[in-house]
Structure 1
Amino acid sequence: MRRVTFFKLDRPVQFLKGVGPRRAEALSRMGIVTARDLLYHVPRRYDDATTVQPIASLDVGQDATAVGRVRSKGVIPTRRGLRIFQAVLQDASGMITVAWPGQPWLDRKLREGDLLLVQGPVRFFHGKQLQPREFTVLARADDPDPSEEGGAGHVFVSYPASEHVPQWVLRGLFEKNLDVLLREVADEEYLEPADRERLGLPALPDALRELHRPTSLRAARAGRRRLAFDELFFLQLVQARVRFQETRARPGIQHTRTNRWIKPLHDALPFPLTGAQARVLREIYADMTSPHRMNRMLQGDVGSGKTVVALFAMLLAVESGTQAVLMAPTEILAEQHARRLRELVEPLGLEVVLLTGRLGTREREAALGAIASGEASLIVGTHALIQEGVQIPRAGLVVVDEQHRFGVRQRQALSELDSRPDTLIMSATPIPRSLALTLYGELDLSVLDELPPGRTPVRTLLRYPGRRDEVYAFVEEQLAQGRQAYVVYPLVGESEKVDLRSATEEHARLRDEVFPHRRVGLLHGQMRGEEKDAVMRAFLAGEVDVLVATTVIEVGIDVPNATVMVVEHAERFGLSQLHQLRGRVGRGAAESFCILVAEPGEAARERLLLFRDTTDGFEVARHDLRIRGQGDLFGAQQHGRD
């Protein structure tokens, strides 16, 4: 591999031919700041001679792609007041009228003589007429393009553009600068010819040339494949460096197993560990007993036994004389963890210290004192654990539960303690960022792919809005058996921008009209903390039959008696969100159901059918990664991307 230096392409784009200060400012708003940015601003689509049809051959009913010069243009008013922009497009074979109803402003944008690529249906209106869904200005008037006739082999490129930097400007910039930029990028080739041949990749300059001036669609695909390889390769290099710095460059804590607590807990468990739990514990223990820091993700569906695995890991830290910390995203979830852990370890003589924002002054001071002194070895809490004034001097293991509900910096806060503790992050569905990091090597992965005996998977059903009454009738059947139900909406209140049902309005309707004889509660993120907490506790205590909510209940309450989850406008939710919502039911012995009420639509239906047919959280995350992208791998931005 060659030694590479980067400097030539990092000069400001302002100094390239045809740019200047004003255009550089417009380019910067598109993320193009340097010469490198421009070179790597690759086309978003290609059209070759096989897809571009001669105008004379276009027939009514076709969905066509054509290229031609604007020979005349104008705005045509209609009797109803609609103004239609029309242009006559001509190529070597003939002419056709192209119409944009309701877009008279195009008269100011397009000029006679401009070369256009248009795509859309051909209709009959006083003759054949093409109505473009999309069009691209390939060249301006008086800017002859020798290949405008779309001869054999010619490929038209379309770039991501903006109002201030349209297609024809970008094409002009590449025409003036591409040759120079390709000569400069040649110095940055890092693969030897033998490596490129083995991998079936073109040289970097050749790849970029084919992306911007493709000789064929196949060559353009080869160029894109080279850039994709580079991106993945450098991502892996960066991840490997981060992994080395975090786990290898400085030693971590080498825990020692004594079985003082681990064996008694194992012997006292009222159930045997599953094969998956035993396998995962071997992986975790191997990490923790090595001199290197652990940075591991534990993925498992609801009910697969993640909490028990985490407890055994925490006990190894305690046996080594360090403190083990479990951080949960909500107070109720933290309380549930603390209660469950106390049931298991207090008979062994261990105490669990809980730290949340609900604690009174005296309780909080006692908890902080026990944690700071090292007396507290098992610690459970919320974000309160990372607030100023909290000292955990001997942290040996940090467990982050439902990690997708924490921000990037929140998750890192505990793992960056001076003691350099091991880190175990848990989730029923890894968010795309986490899955991408796992694929690229920063996180080790342990998967609980086996449910304990006797657990029944949640049945997922897909229903259209027209069958909503049937859904309500089924919910009533479950309530009559003494069960509880959730009904989830994407919005808190009505919106003028989207026609969607909302939790607030629907709560009143369900309470007064659908379930008037039932206790119907309301829960959403705009309620005060104490209000939300009161509703959650009432539902947990069985004092609410139907809980109408937003996604605030993705994480938080474990209600074994809740057997139905109805998700309205399910097409508006991400797959990972849906999986988390589905995880709110199926926590008891009774059969449970997740009912997705969604508008008909091919794209949404395909996605929801994928979700319906799998209960594997990791498979759901893979679909989510493919659909949404992996998020910002190296920053704090965490949403998916196109």
Structure 2
Amino acid sequence: MFLDTPVTYLKGVGPRRAELLRKLGVVTAGDLLYHVPHRYEDASTVAPIASLEPGMDGTIIGTVISKGVIPTRKGLRIFQAVVRDSSGLIEAAWPGQPFLERSIEKGDVLLLSGPVRFFHGRQLTPRDYVNLGNGVDGTVSGKVLSVYRATEGLSFKVIRGLIDAHLDVLLGLVTEYLPRDVLARASDSDGQKLPALADALLMLHRPHSIADAMRGRARLAFEELFFVHLLQLRAKQLARSRRGGIAFENKRELTSALKASLPFQLTDAQIRAIREIAADMFSEFRMNRLLQGDVGSGKTIVALFAALLAVENGYQAAIMAPTELLAEQHARTMERLFQPLGIHPVLVTGSLPARERREVAARLASTAPLIAVGTHALVQGDTRFGRLGFAAIDEQHRFGVEQRAALGAKGERPDLLLMSATPIPRSLAMTKYGDLDLSVLDERPPGRKPVTTALRRETARARVLEFIDEQISRGRQGYIVYPIIDESENSYLKAATTMFESLKTGPFGARRMALLHGRIHAAEREEIMRRFRDGEIDLLVATTV
């Protein structure tokens, strides 16, 4: 016999049973071996029938001594069976299930679980039951009963009998295919080493305890996840191999100059992320990587090193931010950091005057190396890049899939870097199961204080405002973020403009306040941010700009 032997040739399986087994997906002897129980009944908790009292919930094993269908006045038909063990007997009732009369026979041994009530005597209403068959010893307590998925015309008792009859022979045909070192490192949820494959299948079909059955199930679950993971890694490797890109050279010109001129030291996490990104950019395959790090972990400087790597190779680089305010902030940061290098970033936003926009468009359309930073204006149809080699998307969770793909499509094969402190679930899933690689910034630059996050309900609003005012009185600053600019009849959300006036005339009337949102002119926004940075504003009320 072999595992691929058709199940028809097994003893006890004829053409009729083979056809029924096919409905369960059992075609070969190996299929029968892997037709594992879908649940177990723990007979070790079986109670004597005589010990059951109304109000209890019990599990019993007894032999059917009589049965029948009882009609009620309301037309409901109830199947009833009287079962007996060595201690006594009890009536079991299945309301609305008269069809059970065809599958439960007099002399069958039943395992019943359910509540006990008083109805003309003690009566058990089975929540679940297992027909152990005719002639089975009623004293099977202490065993774990395997319950198999069955089909009409082929009960789980028959399936259990077939598996039990051939199990020893089939287990001898099983070959362990997981490497020893992999199996040695694997363990179940209780920390126990996973069993070998043959041992696991024996535990599943003939468990001595529920724990045994769970160990066997854990082994099969582990190898299923293991092979799925291998498959995903293989798929990711194939996707990367088909993703042709630009093979940049490690010239160490602008990148080394930036590192030497930085007024701070890079963290180990930043250095690690830069090396991972550089390795992608040096390869002949197109980079598709997510840079994840908390706010203040230094994602931007990592992206700037990648942008300079593209520029020193004669390519253009683009960094897209979700708001004009953030794009302008990035531009100022780049202007300051790139000053020793003689590089000036190109700002691209929707609010640029027409003449300035045409000048910027002409620069982007040329093949001259540059670094562009902007909003979604970078992906609008009239924006063209002459030689885009690197694209980064900051706060990628705030862009749609199509917007992110549009920036990557602006060049022939630009390397793509996504940045976020809170990646969307789709992006996280892509790092596990798709072709998105992951770099993590898991440490803060020196001097950065930890962020404390607290959740307060609306009922604590007054105390929160008092806390902010107290902190301001100590010389600190604060800002309050609202989700929308103006109130709307279609929204219950608080608006920044309305709440600014309410706070200004209320609890913060004596404080220096300012309002900031996307409709404010760029020059005015920059002035507000400068004043807040210089400590001239105590409390800033803003939207998510």
TM-score range, shorter chain: 0.5 to 0.7
Residues 1:18 and 2:17 aligned together:
yes
Q: Which residue of 2 aligns with 1:190?
A: 177
- Once the two structures are TM-superposed, the CA of residue 66 in structure 1 deviates from its matched residue by 3.4
Residues 1:150 and 2:140 aligned together:
yes
Change (3 A) 1:303 1:210: same
Q: Which residue of 2 aligns with 1:287?
A: 279
CA contact (8 A) 2:203 2:212 kept: yes
Q: TM-score, structure 1 length as denominator?
A: 0.54
Residues 1:214 and 2:204 aligned together:
no
Counterpart selection for 1:351 from 346, 367, 370: 346
The 5-angstrom pairing of residues 67-82 of structure 1 reads: 67-68=61-62, 71-72=66-67, 74=69
Kindly report the root-mean-square deviation, in angstroms, between the aligned alpha carbons of the 2 structures. Answer: 6.1
Counterpart selection for 1:204 from 197, 202, 207: 197
- Once the two structures are TM-superposed, the CA of residue 156 in structure 1 deviates from its matched residue by 1.8
Deviations 1:35-90 (A, max 9, x none): 67876564443233323334333345544333445643556759xx7969564462
CA contact (8 A) 2:379 2:403 kept: no
Tell me which amino acid in the other structure corresponds to 1:190. Answer: Y
Change (3 A) 1:267 1:184: same
Deviations 1:121-145 (A, max 9, x none): 445555444455x414446xxx537
Deviations 1:471-530 (A, max 9, x none): 465577689999757699xxxxxxxxxxxxxxxxxxxxxxxxxxxxx9855777xxxxxx
- Once the two structures are TM-superposed, the CA of residue 418 in structure 1 deviates from its matched residue by 6.1
CA contact (8 A) 2:245 2:284 kept: yes
| C-alpha distance in 2 between matches for 1:167 and 1:368 | 75
- Once the two structures are TM-superposed, the CA of residue 458 in structure 1 deviates from its matched residue by 1.4
- Once the two structures are TM-superposed, the CA of residue 97 in structure 1 deviates from its matched residue by 4.0
**What SS does the corresponding residue of 1:223 show, helix, strand or coil?**
helix
**What SS does the corresponding residue of 1:47 show, helix, strand or coil?**
strand
Q: Does 44-53 or 68-77 show the bigger shift? A: 68-77
Deviations 1:598-631 (A, max 9, x none): xxxxxxxxxxxxxxxxxxxxxxxxxxxxxxxxxx
| C-alpha distance in 2 between matches for 1:55 and 1:67 | 8
Residues 1:58 and 2:48 aligned together:
no
Counterpart selection for 1:105 from 67, 90, 96: 96
**What SS does the corresponding residue of 1:18 show, helix, strand or coil?**
helix
- Once the two structures are TM-superposed, the CA of residue 386 in structure 1 deviates from its matched residue by 11
Deviations 1:100-134 (A, max 9, x none): 6xxx43333565437654444445555444455x4
**What SS does the corresponding residue of 2:254 show, helix, strand or coil?**
coil
| C-alpha distance in 2 between matches for 1:115 and 1:42 | 23
Change (3 A) 1:105 1:124: closer
Residues 1:225 and 2:212 aligned together:
no
Deviations 1:168-187 (A, max 9, x none): 74564565478779849946
Residues 1:309 and 2:298 aligned together:
no
Q: Which residue of 2 aligns with 1:234?
A: 227
| C-alpha distance in 2 between matches for 1:455 and 1:346 | 28
| C-alpha distance in 2 between matches for 1:352 and 1:6 | 67
Change (3 A) 1:362 1:474: same
| C-alpha distance in 1 between matches for 2:479 and 2:271 | 36
Q: Which residue of 2 aligns with 1:298?
A: 291
Change (3 A) 1:341 1:137: same
CA contact (8 A) 1:72 1:87 kept: yes
Tell me which amino acid in the other structure corresponds to 2:97. Answer: L
| C-alpha distance in 2 between matches for 1:383 and 1:38 | 61
Change (3 A) 1:360 1:589: closer
- Once the two structures are TM-superposed, the CA of residue 351 in structure 1 deviates from its matched residue by 1.2
Tell me which amino acid in the other structure corresponds to 1:107. Answer: P
| C-alpha distance in 2 between matches for 1:246 and 1:196 | 29
The 5-angstrom pairing of residues 597-636 of structure 1 reads: none
CA contact (8 A) 1:46 1:156 kept: yes
- Once the two structures are TM-superposed, the CA of residue 190 in structure 1 deviates from its matched residue by 2.0
CA contact (8 A) 1:326 1:399 kept: yes
CA contact (8 A) 1:539 1:545 kept: no
Q: Which residue of 2 aligns with 1:459?
A: 454
The 5-angstrom pairing of residues 51-450 of structure 1 reads: 51-60=45-54, 62-68=56-62, 71-72=66-67, 74=69, 85=78, 87-88=80-81, 90-93=83-86, 94-98=88-92, 104-108=95-99, 111-113=103-105, 117-124=111-118, 127-132=121-126, 134-138=127-131, 143-144=133-134, 146=136, 149-152=139-142, 154-158=143-147, 165=151, 169=155, 172-173=158-159, 175-176=161-162, 183=170, 186=173, 189-191=176-178, 201-245=194-238, 253-256=247-250, 258=252, 260=254, 263=257, 272=264, 275=267, 278-284=270-276, 287-288=279-280, 290-291=282-283, 296-324=289-317, 333=322, 335=324, 337-346=326-335, 348=338, 349-353=344-348, 377-378=371-372, 385=379, 394-397=388-391, 399=393, 401-402=395-396, 414=408, 419=413, 421=415, 423-424=417-418, 426-428=420-422, 431=425, 434=428, 443-450=437-444
Change (3 A) 1:453 1:396: closer
**What SS does the corresponding residue of 2:45 show, helix, strand or coil?**
coil
CA contact (8 A) 1:19 1:173 kept: no
Give me the identity figure in percent.
Answer: 27
| C-alpha distance in 2 between matches for 1:124 and 1:254 | 82
| C-alpha distance in 1 between matches for 2:377 and 2:138 | 62
Deviations 1:430-466 (A, max 9, x none): 74983795599984542334376245411135x7xxx
- Once the two structures are TM-superposed, the CA of residue 219 in structure 1 deviates from its matched residue by 3.6
Change (3 A) 1:240 1:454: closer
CA contact (8 A) 2:109 2:136 kept: no
Tell me which amino acid in the other structure corresponds to 2:41. Answer: D
CA contact (8 A) 2:249 2:282 kept: yes
Change (3 A) 1:87 1:243: same
- Once the two structures are TM-superposed, the CA of residue 318 in structure 1 deviates from its matched residue by 3.3
Deviations 1:16-53 (A, max 9, x none): 963648983xx6xxxx6976787656444323332333
CA contact (8 A) 1:8 1:184 kept: no
CA contact (8 A) 1:39 1:178 kept: no
Tell me which amino acid in the other structure corresponds to 2:60. Answer: A
Q: Which residue of 2 aligns with 1:491?
A: none
Q: Does 298-307 or 108-117 show the bigger shift? A: 108-117
CA contact (8 A) 1:9 1:185 kept: no
Question: How many residue pairs get matched?
Answer: 475
Tell me which amino acid in the other structure corresponds to 1:344. Answer: T
| C-alpha distance in 1 between matches for 2:36 and 2:284 | 42
Change (3 A) 1:179 1:560: farther
| C-alpha distance in 1 between matches for 2:124 and 2:249 | 72
Tell me which amino acid in the other structure corresponds to 1:291. Answer: S
**What SS does the corresponding residue of 2:226 show, helix, strand or coil?**
helix
Change (3 A) 1:278 1:420: closer
**What SS does the corresponding residue of 1:434 show, helix, strand or coil?**
helix
CA contact (8 A) 1:43 1:212 kept: yes
Q: TM-score, structure 2 length as denominator?
A: 0.61
Change (3 A) 1:519 1:414: closer
The 5-angstrom pairing of residues 527-566 of structure 1 reads: 539=496
CA contact (8 A) 2:290 2:436 kept: no
| C-alpha distance in 1 between matches for 2:227 and 2:428 | 18
**What SS does the corresponding residue of 2:99 show, helix, strand or coil?**
helix
- Once the two structures are TM-superposed, the CA of residue 224 in structure 1 deviates from its matched residue by 1.8
| C-alpha distance in 2 between matches for 1:379 and 1:234 | 43
**What SS does the corresponding residue of 1:428 show, helix, strand or coil?**
coil
